[in-house]
Amino acid sequence: MEKRIRQYTVLINEDGMRLDEFLAYKIGRFSRSQANSCIKAGAVSIEPYRPVKPALKIHTGDIISLTQTMYGDAPMYDEVVLLDENEDFWVFDKPSGMAVHPTANIYHNTMTRYVETQIGAQPFVVHRLDKETSGILIVAKNADVSQKLDKLFQTRAVQKQYDAVIWNAHGKYYPGYTEDIDIPLGFAGIELPRITMGIGTLEAHTHVECTAIHGDFAWLKIDIHSGRQHQIRVHLALTGTPILGDKLYLFGESFYKDYLDNKPTSMYAPHHHLLHASHLCLTWKDKSYSWNSESPALMQAVFKGPALHEFFPTDYSKLFI
């Protein structure tokens, strides 16, 4: 497993912070408990030297070094597909399991690193997909294009459609059934890192159409008219039909935190949640663009697969009944 050394210089506004608070503050999705574990394991050092402990007060100009062991950071570059390219942006088909941006534990297996190493260019990511969500992703070639595309996304001038395979609790969905989910969202997390969404005050609208059912599963086509974090995943979970494989909104925060910390967890399947960004269209420089991406083989295999217990050896279904 690869090791990575991160270094941070303490700034004036960070003077007097606890060491564990500083690390959690500087590193995205890195909790204080994770920082404590790293400190106690001897993975953190400080210059000028002094013995480190979680409560150590740091000062302006201190240099903090963190040596990390990178888990699950094997690049999936050969699975990335270039769907389209022009002078302003690339359009990629991102595989499930590949992050868009680096995180506390992932550096190489990201779309930004892919563009840097495989194309030799600086990436300007306009929008994002969750690590386990596959599908269409636009990456701008410069900051000016990025800002203009970002405005298109913010003003809802970009049409996005997703495919999802869900647990069809109590036979709610049938082919042709449609539903508009209008549940305001906000941060609801208790465990760190606090990324879980729930009922809140931010307007969120999701349109859902069922195109097929098979056994206990339903295949949904989904349009979103807002762009809240985890919107599709949390809306479907809140209405009792979660996406299959969603470790956060199915198993809960404690399970997900253990999973992120590489602690032993109960078995789960499928290993990636079954959500795919299948269609995207926009108008750019007076030209209409439209891209499609076929859903991954895993989604189709699970949807058309055998009985529930074949895929879910952990009494997965009891979570929804």
pLDDT in tens, 265-311: 665 557 789 999 999 999 999 999 999 999 998 898 888 876 454 44
Q: Say what the pLDDT of residue 10 is.
A: 95
Before 48, cis peptide (omega within 30)?
A: yes
Counting residues of the chain whose pLDDT is more than 70, the rounded percentage is: 86
Q: Say what the pLDDT of residue 184 is.
A: 93
Label residue 67 by pLDDT band (50, 70, 90).
confident
Q: What angle do CA 302, 73, 23 make, to 5 degrees?
A: 120
Amino acid at 315: D
Each residue of 77-127: pLDDT tens digit?
999 999 999 999 999 999 999 999 987 678 889 999 999 999 999 999 999
Each residue of 135-155: pLDDT tens digit?
999 999 999 999 999 999 988
Q: Partners of 304 in the beta sheet? A: none
Label residue 201 by pLDDT band (50, 70, 90).
very high
Label residue 193 by pLDDT band (50, 70, 90).
low
Each residue of 2-42: pLDDT tens digit?
667 889 999 999 999 999 999 988 886 677 877 888 898 88
Residue 130 appears among annotated catalytic residues? yes
**Are β-strands 205-214 and 159-167 bridged in parallel, bridged antiparallel, or unpaired?**
unpaired
Counting residues of the chain whose pLDDT is more than 90, the rounded percentage is: 58
Phi, psi (degrees; rounded to nearest 5) at 79:
-100, -5
pLDDT above 60 (res 59): yes
Q: Which of 105-119, 151-165, 213-227, 303-317 has the lowest mean pLDDT?
A: 303-317
* Residue 206: closest CA among 275, 282, 130: 275
Question: What is the C-alpha separation between 279 and 281, in angstroms, rounded?
Answer: 7
More confident residue, 70 or 167: 167
More confident residue, 60 or 256: 60
Q: Partners of 65 in the beta sheet? A: 7, 45
* Catalytic, out of 62, 130, 163, 246: 130
Phi, psi (degrees; rounded to nearest 5) at 54:
-55, -35
Three state DSSP letters for the chain = CCEEEEEEECCHHHCCCEHHHHHHHHCCCCCHHHHHHHHHCCCEEEECCCCCCCCCECCCCCEEEEEEECCCCCCCHHHCEEEEECCCEEEEEECCCCECCCCCCCCCCEHHHHHHHHHCCCCEECCCCCCCCEEEEEEECCHHHHHHHHHHHHCCCCEEEEEEEEECHHHCCCCCCEEEEECCEEECCCCCCCCCEEECCECCEEEEEEEEEECCEEEEEEEECCCCCCHHHHHHHHCCCCECCCHHHHHCHHHHHHHHCCCCCCCCCCCCCCEEEEEEEEEECCEEEEEECCCCHHHHHHHCCCCHHHHCCCCHHHHHC
The domains located in the chain, with CATH, are: 3-69 (3.10.290.10), 73-155 (3.30.2350.10), 157-321 (3.30.2350.10)
Q: Say what the pLDDT of residue 191 is.
A: 57
What mean pLDDT is reported for the chain? 86
